Structure 1
Amino acid sequence: MRILAAGSNRNHQRGLSLVELLVVLIVIGLISGVAVMAIAPRASEAERAATRFAGTVEQLLDMAIVEARPVGIDVAATSISVRRFSAGSWQAVALPRTAGARVTDVSLELSVSDEFDLPEADDNDSIDLMFRQAPAKSAETTRMPVIVFSPVGEVTPFTLMFAGQDENWFVTVDRFASVEVRRGQQ
C-alpha cells in the first residue's frame, strides 16, 4: 500500500461517474421520445370525429336513461344536431362539442338499419304517450329526429360514415347501443 504525501499528483483512473452516465441516459431518452412523437402517424380528421361521436352516443344514451326522456340526433351533410323530447316537442340540446357541431374536412353519410318502433295509441286510448307529437307546434320542433335514444336503453340502429380526404371511418350502433368504430371502404 502506497501512502501519498499531500499535494502529490496521483494518477486517477479515467471513466464515467454514475451521475455522468445517468445524464447521458436521460438525454438519449428525451431525444428518442421527441423522435417517436414526430414520426408517429397522426389521426385523421375523420378518425377523430368518429371517435368523438362514439363517445357522444354513449353520453346521449346515458342522458336519455337518467332523465327518462327520449333524446334524438339529426345528421346533415357536415353537422350533427341533438334534440330532447320535452314539453310535447323536440327541443335543441347544447352538449359540449356535439350539438350543432360542424365537422371540417369530413362529410357525413347516415344509413339507418331499422325504423325505431314507437308504440302507437288507439283513438280510444286515454294515455298520452310521451313520444306522441304535439299538434300545435312548428314542424321543426315536432318532427322526430332520425336517430332516437329511448329511456329504456334502446337506440335506432344506424351506421354513420365519416368520409375524410384519404379514408372513411364508420360508427355503427345496434339496437341496444353497442358502439363500434371501424375504418373501412365505402
Structure 2
Amino acid sequence: MPISATGNNRRAGSQGGFTLIELLVVMAVIGLLSGVVVMTWPPADPPALADARRFAADARQAAEASIVTGRPYGLALDGRGWTVLRADAAGWTPLPDVAPGLWSDGVQARPTLSGAKQAAGDSAPAIPALRFDPVGLATPFALRVEGDGASALVEVDAAGRVALRAGEEG
C-alpha cells in the first residue's frame, strides 16, 4: 500500500540518507574546488615589499595621529628597523603601545633624500628622520627598501602624503 501520493513504498524500518558514492563525489568536488582556490591565490609579497608596506602604514598612522592629537610625530630609522616617536616636553619619545618595526633578514633600507638620516647605532638619540607636524605637513622623505631581488620606494611629500611604489628604481 502506498504511503504517500507519489507512491513511495519504503518500508517503515528503512532509514534514509546518503550513499557512500554520493559522499565520495561531494568530497571530490570540494577537493577540486579548494585546489583551484589555492592555485589562484596570489603569492606572498617578497620581504622587502612587505617591510616597505609596514613602514608606509606606520608613516600614515603617524601622520594621522599628529593631526588628531595636535602633536608632532615622527619615525626614526636605524640599521634594524624603525620606531614611531612623539614629541613632548622631554623631546622625542617612542610610543609605548607601538612596537618598533624590524627589517626582515636580508632586507636593507636606506634613505635617499639628503635631509633623511639614519641613526648611527643603538646609543644614538632617537631623532626622527621623518617628521609630521600637527597641521599635516611633513619633511620630504624617501626610503628605498631592497632585498631578495625586490625593491620598493616609500616617499613622503611636504604635504604629508605617503606613497609606496613597488619595484621602483631610484
The answer (yes or no) to whether the contact 2:111–2:143 under 8 Å persists in 1 is yes
The CA distance in 2 between the partners of 1:83 and 1:96, in whole Å, is 9
1:83 aligns with 2:66: no
CA distance in 1, matches of 2:97, 2:144: 21
Residues 167 and 184 in structure 1, CA contact (< 8 A), matched pair in contact too:
no
Residue in structure 2 matching 1:174, options 130, 142, 157: 157
Within a 5 Å distance, the mapping from 1:101-116 to structure 2 comes to: 101-104=101-104, 105-112=106-113
SS of equivalent residue, structure 1 residue 181: strand
Instruction: Please tell me whether residue 154 in structure 1 is matched to residue 131 in structure 2.
Output: no
| Structure 1 residue matching 2:125: 3-state secondary structure | helix
Residue type of the alignment partner of 1:112: L
Gaps of 5+ in 1: 1-5, 7-18, 116-138
Q: Do the aligned residues in 2 keep the contact of 1:78 with 1:106 (CA within 8 Å)?
A: no
Contact 1:82 1:94 in 2 (8 A): no
Identity %: 27
Match of 1:30 in 2: 34
> Which amino acid is the alignment partner of residue 140 of structure 1?
P
Q: How does 1:1-186 map to 2 (within 5 A)?
A: 23=26, 25-37=29-41, 40-97=42-99, 99=100, 101-104=101-104, 105-112=106-113, 140=125, 144-182=127-165, 183-186=167-170
Q: Is the 8 A contact 1:84 1:91 kept in 2?
A: yes
The aligned counterpart of 1:129 is none
Specify the SS of the correspondent of 2:74: strand
Residue 168 of structure 1 and its aligned partner are, at CA, apart by 1.2
Partner Cα separation in structure 2 for residue 173 and residue 25 of structure 1: 49
Change (3 A) 1:64 1:155: same
* Superposed displacement of residue 146, structure 1: 2.2
So what's the TM-score if we normalise by structure 1? 0.64
Q: Give the secondary-structure state (helix, strand or coil) at the position aligned to 1:140.
A: coil
The whole-number CA distance in structure 1 between the counterparts of 2:86 and 2:49 is: 27
CA distance in 1, matches of 2:61, 2:132: 11
Aligned AA (2:58):
T
In structure 2, relative to structure 1, the CA distance for the partners of 1:31 and 1:145 (3 Å cut) is closer
* Alignment RMSD: 2.8
Q: Distance in 1 between matches of 2:147 and 2:82?
A: 16
| C-alpha displacement of 1:67 | 1.4
Shift of 1:26: 3.4
CA distance in 1, matches of 2:52, 2:44: 15
Which residue in the other structure is 2:120 paired with? none
